[in-house]
A and B are shown apart, each in its own frame.
Chain A
Amino acid sequence: MSVLVPAPAASGRTMKIQIENFSLQYQDGTETLRNINLEIVANAVTVLFGPAGGGKSSLLRCLNRLNDLADVQNRSGRILLDGQDIFDPKADVIGLRRKVGMVFARPVVLPMSIRQNLTYGLELAGENRKSRLDEAISRSLKQAALWEEVHDRLDDPAIALSGGQQQRLCLARSLALQPDVILLDEPTSGLDPISTGKVEASLQELKKDYTIILVPHSVQQAARTADYAAFFLQGELIEFGDGKTLFTTPKQKKTEDYITGRFG
């Protein structure tokens, strides 16, 4: 089955990422992606949603080449970030990961202090000027709406924070590197509604400076947050478009069925 997916009306918007005829297959034959074409607009929240096993997370993990660690059998097509093919053999993978930050479903803080969690990536990149590190700490914590809660105990172990705080720390940890793009893989799946609200609110702030790609943990969250939305089903991109339009008047029957809860 092939569905023609119209690109979003990109009036005056810059394209941050272009995914062209992208296919992926794992060695154990689990999740696959089939011929995905998708354009991610800069400074907007693009939501990848759909039932489990649809390939959303796989696609996300390709965007910062974290999938290099997985047993990928086949990959074809291209992913362009600012016009550069990220799978080019000469591409700088470390640099790519600094440019494309990631927040995972389960909050995983590194076994060190709050401060060290934030400076870890910067120090790896060779930054050791204290003023720069301090500036990155306060900026990223404020952007992740965590500064008020932790600014007076930055040297406490990060594991002592609550789950919601830990997840915001993970967000701050990616922001500390000042990436261009932030990938979020069901970042609120383990959080209470209040923490979820805080994370969602910071996304709306963050999109002014960053390009955000979110795999939401529910259709409702998708509808709440999406500027653009892409519906994935079993490795195929079924429909892609402007968030408001897609959730109110979906063009595809399958999209409508999923959004209205007929399957999922």
Chain B
Amino acid sequence: MNRNLVQRLGFGLLSFMALLTVLPIILVIIFIVVQGGSVISVEFITGFPFGGMRSGGIWPAIVGTFYLTLGTAIFSVPLGVAAAIYLSEYASDNGLTRLIRLAIINLSGIPSVVYGLFGLGLFVFFLQFGTSILSASLTLSIMTLPVIISTSEEALRAVPQAFRTVSISVGATRWQTIRRIVLPEALPGIITGVILGLERAAGETAPILFTGAAFFLPRLPGSPFDATMALPYHLFVISTQVPEMPIQIQYGTALVLITFVLAMNLIANYVRSRARARRQW
């Protein structure tokens, strides 16, 4: 076979593979929009479910997911960013650091349902937070930490070493250098990582299953110690636990969830591209 033909075949195959990876996400979105688009209305978004959840809206689940994401952010962002700063800026390559890194890698490999059981044992029972937004947020935080730590550390390491050297050479301390030079430079990357981590938390079912999610709650949660409905769990419930559930409501709920997550994704992208534009000046 002639070399040009081989080359063209090769490229053709590769671009076909690349296209194949895009196909599922497009199909998923089209499918969900077609199936669930018809139920989307103001009442669906802002209403409470009734009639055994077979009619009405999903407002409590939307609010619940918002609270859980916010709660996760409150715990995981400061902890994760602080850990990343320590690992990138202070830690020397010793046994302790290697242990921390090993722990982070392993944390990200744990199945989410295991986090759920862990949260049930530690937060719900041992610390007596009960089945609550607090317990669920803490559980989601632990699950999110590895993502936030590793992306933030990467963003910090991407800041040129020369900036640090120069800053130290004009009489800055290490912390002044981090606060005034390194962190501002790494911030867009850190924000992107944080949002990607929170996005995962917002869409998870298993970790909140035992720790904070309510099957049905006719009111909004009033404190962090209340249980709450949440979009992913609500979707699971109405898809498997409620007989004769109208399929449009299931897909409508899925549409709201995926919009919630994609919106966070868009924000992350916007932050990233704005930072890139700023750097080019």
Cβ of A83 under 8 Å from chain B: no
Cβ of B166 under 8 Å from chain A: yes
Cβ of B163 under 8 Å from chain A: yes
* Complex contact B171–A125 (CB within 8 A): yes
Chain A, Cβ-Cβ closest to B185: A111
Q: Which residues of B contact A102 (CB under 8 A)?
A: 169
Contact A124:B163 (CB < 8 A) given known A110-B181, A160-B281: no
Q: Which residues of A contact B162 (CB under 8 A)?
A: 104, 106, 108
Q: Which residues of A contact B181 (CB under 8 A)?
A: 110-111
Cβ of A219 under 8 Å from chain B: no
Which of B53-61, B71-79, B129-137, B172-180 lies at the interface? B172-180
Chain A, Cβ-Cβ closest to B163: A110
Closest-CB distance, A109 to chain B (whole angstroms): 8
In angstroms, Cα B279 to Cα A65, docked, is 31
* Complex contact A121–B185 (CB within 8 A): no
In angstroms, Cα B172 to Cα A97, docked, is 9
* Complex contact A108–B163 (CB within 8 A): yes
B107-135 contacts to A, CB under 8 A, are none
* Complex contact B165–A69 (CB within 8 A): yes
Cβ of B167 under 8 Å from chain A: yes
B129-187 contacts to A, CB under 8 A, are 160, 162-163, 165-173, 176, 180-181, 184-185
Closest-CB distance, B280 to chain A (whole angstroms): 9
Chain A, Cβ-Cβ closest to B174: A69
Closest-CB distance, A104 to chain B (whole angstroms): 7
In angstroms, Cα B172 to Cα A95, docked, is 10
Cβ of A98 under 8 Å from chain B: yes
Q: Which residues of A contact B185 (CB under 8 A)?
A: 111
Q: Which residues of B contact A174 (CB under 8 A)?
A: 170
Contact A97:B165 (CB < 8 A) given known A111-B185, A124-B176: no
A86-136 contacts to B, CB under 8 A, are 94-95, 97-98, 101-102, 104, 106, 108, 110-111, 120-121, 124-125
Closest-CB distance, B177 to chain A (whole angstroms): 9
In angstroms, Cα B163 to Cα A112, docked, is 11
User: Among B163, B168, B176, which residue has its beta carbon within 8 angstroms of that of A66?
Assistant: B168
* Complex contact B281–A94 (CB within 8 A): no
Closest-CB distance, B190 to chain A (whole angstroms): 15
* Complex contact B165–A104 (CB within 8 A): yes
* Complex contact A94–B165 (CB within 8 A): no
A5-38 contacts to B, CB under 8 A, are none
Chain A, Cβ-Cβ closest to B164: A69
In angstroms, Cα B173 to Cα A30, docked, is 27
Q: Which residues of A contact B170 (CB under 8 A)?
A: 97-98, 101, 120-121, 124, 173-174, 177
Chain B, Cβ-Cβ closest to A64: B169
In angstroms, Cα B174 to Cα A69, docked, is 10
* Complex contact B169–A177 (CB within 8 A): no
In angstroms, Cα B169 to Cα A148, docked, is 26
Closest-CB distance, A120 to chain B (whole angstroms): 6
In angstroms, Cα B162 to Cα A110, docked, is 9
* Complex contact B176–A97 (CB within 8 A): no
In angstroms, Cα B162 to Cα A170, docked, is 12
Contact A110:B176 (CB < 8 A) given known A121-B171, A125-B171, A160-B281: no
For B173, B180, B185, which residue has the most chain A Cβ atoms within 10 angstroms? B180
Q: Which residues of A contact B184 (CB under 8 A)?
A: 111
In angstroms, Cα B176 to Cα A218, docked, is 36
Q: Which residues of B contact A94 (CB under 8 A)?
A: 171-173
Closest-CB distance, B149 to chain A (whole angstroms): 24
Q: Which residues of B contact A110 (CB under 8 A)?
A: 163, 166-167, 181
Chain A residues within CB distance 8 Å of chain B: 64, 66, 69, 94-95, 97-98, 101-102, 104, 106, 108, 110-111, 120-121, 124-125, 157, 159-160, 170, 173-174, 177
CB<8 Å pairs between A and B, sample of 6: A104-B169, A108-B160, A108-B163, A120-B167, A170-B166, A177-B171
Chain B residues within CB distance 8 Å of chain A: 160, 162-163, 165-173, 176, 180-181, 184-185, 279, 281
